[in-house]
């Protein structure tokens, strides 16, 4: 859904959109299904650009960092994004920007895709790691079975190689 900022005169422009963001718009390693988003706010003119303020509510499934099972994640947060018109095309490569421009997004034209704004806000709010339970046992490193499920992994536990010297001493002691 596009928001036409050229309609802003002296009155703010309100928006309220419900969107569905697929995992390929977000973090495909972490997001395992569609994320439902509602983004509500206002856009108003400010000196040299536009300011969009509002709130975002989202929910969707993320993969547990240990066992890869889906975990329902929810977001409720506010946002404020300043947009300024790109005065000229900087082209390819690196270029310097002023310190006051670090918190500003630049836009060509007078339209903003609310889908892009919502995707940006969701990506910024995604947790670094999410687990289904603090006691999650994760996946077996040998057979990849989910160790949280009873009987899923039938692998014999590997002895810790750091204790091999003690096992050798115990075997020598029992041989005497």
**Tens digit of pLDDT for each residue in 113-142?**
999 999 999 999 999 999 999 999 999 988
- Alpha helices (H) along 88-146: 114-125
Residue ranges per structural domain of the chain: 2-125, 138-176
Q: What is the mean pLDDT of the chain?
A: 87
**Tens digit of pLDDT for each residue in 137-171?**
999 988 999 999 988 888 887 788 899 889 888 88
153: left (phi over 0), alpha (psi -120 to 50) or beta: beta
Phi, psi angles (nearest 5°) of residue 15: -140, 150
**Does the structure show a pLDDT above 60 at 173?**
yes
- In this prediction, residue 176 carries a pLDDT of 63
- In this prediction, residue 150 carries a pLDDT of 86
Q: How far apart are CA 138 and CA 129, in angstroms?
A: 13
**Does the structure show a pLDDT above 60 at 89?**
no
- In this prediction, residue 88 carries a pLDDT of 47
Cβ–Cβ under 8 Å, residues 148 and 135: no
Q: What is the mean pLDDT of residues 51-65?
A: 95
- In this prediction, residue 100 carries a pLDDT of 67
| Residue from 67, 74, 39, 68 nearest 55 by CA | 39
**Does the structure show a pLDDT above 90 at 86?**
no
Residue 24 — very low, low, confident or very high, per pLDDT cuts 50/70/90?
Answer: very high
């Amino acid at each position: 859904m596009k928001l036409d900022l050229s309609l802003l005169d002296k009155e703010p422009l309100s928006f309220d959109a419900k969107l569905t963001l697929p995992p390929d718009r977000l973090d495909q390693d972490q997001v395992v299904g569609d994320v439902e988003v509602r983004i509500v706010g206002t856009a108003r003119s400010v000196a040299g650009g536009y300011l969009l303020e509002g709130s975002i509510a989202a929910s969707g499934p993320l993969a547990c960092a240990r066992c890869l099972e889906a975990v329902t994640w929810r977001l409720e947060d506010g946002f404020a994004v300043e947009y300024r018109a790109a005065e000229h095309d900087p082209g390819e490569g690196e270029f310097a920007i002023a310190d006051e421009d670090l918190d500003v997004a630049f836009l060509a034209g007078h339209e903003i895709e609310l889908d892009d704004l919502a995707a940006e806000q969701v990506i910024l709010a995604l947790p670094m790691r999410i687990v289904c339970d603090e006691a999650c046992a994760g996946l077996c490193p040998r057979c990849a079975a989910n160790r949280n499920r009873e009987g899923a992994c039938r692998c014999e536990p590997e002895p810790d190689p750091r204790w091999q010297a003690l096992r050798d001493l115990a075997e020598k002691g029992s041989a005497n």
